[in-house]
Amino acid sequence: QAGLTQPPSVSKGLRQTATLTCTGNNNNVGDRGAVWLQQHQGHPPKLLCHRNNHRPSGISERFSASRSTNTASLTITGLQPEDEADYYCSAWDSTLSAWVFGGGTKLTVL
């Protein structure tokens, strides 16, 4: 099953802003949007943003999501050391009748 496309790695400095992208097609990201997950090494993933770009309670306002046609984006402002993690996007694919994940982006905070 074809997955979503994410850059393998992004590096930004402390207190800078990072924007992570997730590209799909009309049948997945372009259809109902994508969720964003954060995963620290050795821990289960944590939901950062719902498909409607809303944050669950308890998630910092520094995390925000948006979508433009078939590309979803996660913007993290004021980068902190604890933001260093792997970030995944996922979307329901209406043609495949399956959820698809991106390969993940490893964010490094310099």
Partner 1 sequence: QVQMVESGGGVVQPGRSLRLSCATSGFIFSSYTFHWVRQAPGKGLEWVALVSYDGTDKYYADSVKGRFTISRDNSKNTLNLQMNNLRVEDTAVYFCAREDYDFWGRGTTVTVSS
Q: How many residues does the chain have?
A: 110
SS3 87: strand
- C-alpha span between 55 and 58 (Å, rounded): 8
The answer to whether residue 104 forms part of the interface with partner 1 (CB under 8 A) is yes
The answer to whether residue 39 forms part of the interface with partner 1 (CB under 8 A) is yes
The answer to whether residue 14 forms part of the interface with partner 1 (CB under 8 A) is no
User: Residue 105 is encoded by which pair of tokens?
Assistant: 């982006």
Between the alpha carbon of residue 84 and those of residues 35, 53, 97, the distances in Å are 19, 21, 32
Among the listed residues 13, 56, 82, 110, the single contact to partner 1 using CB under 8 A = 56
The answer to whether residue 41 forms part of the interface with partner 1 (CB under 8 A) is no
Among the listed residues 12, 25, 27, 50, the single contact to partner 1 using CB under 8 A = 50
The answer to whether residue 95 forms part of the interface with partner 1 (CB under 8 A) is no
The answer to whether residue 18 forms part of the interface with partner 1 (CB under 8 A) is no
